[in-house]
Amino acid sequence: MMMGSLILRFSFTGFLFLTLLWFSFSQPVCHDDERSSLLQFKESFIINMSVSSFSSLSYSKVAFWTNKEDTRNCCMWHGVECDEITGHVIRLDLSSSYLYGSIDSTSSLFNLTHLQSLDLADNHFKYSQIPSAIKRLSMLTNLNLSYSAFSGQIPSEVSELSKLSNLDLSYNIDLVSGENILELKKPNNLETLVSNLTSLEKLHLSGVDISSAVPKSLENLSSLISLLLENCKLTGEFPINIFQLPNLQSLDVMFNKDLTGRFPVVLDQKSSLNSFLFGGTGFSEDLLSSIEKLASLTELDGRSCNFSGVIPASIGKLKQLTSLDLSNYYFVGQIPRSIGNLTQLTSLDLSYNNLVGQIPPSIGNLTQLTSLDLSSNQFSGPIPLSFSKLINLETLWLDDNNLSGTMNFDMLNGLKNLTTLILSQNNLSLLVSPHEIN
């Protein structure tokens, strides 16, 4: 018995030793010149804990980089990944790392020519321009420089990174004024940028001052999955065939007031678009009557588009929607009863319209709702008793309407998750149950 126990203990110890030995030998060892370049890059910045806004994810990854004998393998450093065979640094993720300082083409970062992914998002580079030396990182497939206080014109050298599949330069803004400080204007405009980037899957340029039309060449990016161009001062008509891109899932062109657009009369194929955000644009108001073609939509935001007329009953065909915002329009008439078909909705905002009549009881079918805003309309009559089914509701705005009648306090008690209820500027009264008086 004792001999068997010793053999078992030895076998387990031997297995553990061999496992640790294998693990240590399986880790690539970084190249001396790349370790030196990383350390030089680290020393060119100071750590400022106020510059990374996503605090729950932020920490100083470079603080763990040292040249000490037992920790000098840069492939083991935070934010660094090396190729398992060659040992070259291929991925560098320093997002939300409290980095504060300027960067230019002399930076040792651009010695890491084997990089395939570079993420410097959510730092502060003191309004530096994106260095033209970025072209030296010709192996990049992923480049994320968002939320990092870069300024000036995006260099044409970015378009030389022909292997890019993901490019995110969004929301580089002045932290004091909130103004966009990154530009993409002639002669190196958006069309120039994407001319060689034919493998793009994600193009995120929200907050970049483009101040031009959306080039039709974007219609040729057949691999595009996500196109985010919010608040870019876009003008002209949005290329209609972008809606026909076979893999496009997310499209955001919000807050481009001089951008017009319409929807294709016929879709060549079933659309894969699940998020369409076009609020604050000049898109044609017949868009909503055609929106049912986007049957896979889960998010639709068309606030503040100056549409008029009635909300089409066909909106009820978008049964995958989880978020619908049609606020700040000039909609008239009643909410279509078909709204009750959108049973996956968690957020519904129809505020600041001219909607009339009674609130349809079919809204009670939307039992997944956590937020409902019907404020600043002309609804009349009572609050539907079916609202008692909205057991997941957290916020409810019904203020500034012509609602009347009695709201039963027992119904409110059934809404266990309700934290915000706004009923002002109506003709409502509350019916308090006897146990509430006691």
Name 252's Cβ contacts closer than 8 Å, sequence gap at least 6.
Answer: 206, 227, 228, 229, 230, 275, 277
Lowest pLDDT segment from 5-9, 32-36, 88-92, 196-200? 5-9
Q: What is the structure's pLDDT at 268?
A: 62
pLDDT tops 60 at residue 127: yes
Q: Residue 375: left (phi > 0), alpha (psi -120 to 50), or beta?
A: beta
d(CA 48, CA 27): 32
- Which pLDDT band, with edges at 50, 70 and 90, does 431 fall under? low
Domains located in the chain, CATH noted: 285-438 (3.80.10.10)
Mean pLDDT of 260-288: 84
Q: What is the pLDDT of residue 14?
A: 47
User: Which candidate, 294, 265, 266, 377, places its Cα nearest to that of 278?
Assistant: 294
Q: What is the mean pLDDT of residues 171-195?
A: 90
How does pLDDT run across 289-300, given as a tens digit for each residue? 788 888 899 999
Question: Residue 8's pLDDT is what?
Answer: 41
pLDDT at 1: 45
3-class DSSP assignment, residue 435? helix
The answer, yes or no, to whether residue 22 has pLDDT greater than 80, is: no
Which pair of tokens denotes residue 424? 């002002």
d(CA 56, CA 61): 14
pLDDT in tens, 80-104: 999 999 999 999 999 999 999 999 9
- pLDDT computed for residue 434 by the predictor: 44
Nearest to 376 by CA among 407, 400, 412: 400
Q: Is the pLDDT of residue 334 over 70?
A: yes
DSSP state of 209: B
198: pLDDT strictly greater than 90: yes
d(CA 304, CA 278): 9
Cα separation, 137 vs 68, whole angstroms: 28
Mean pLDDT value across residues 44-63: 90
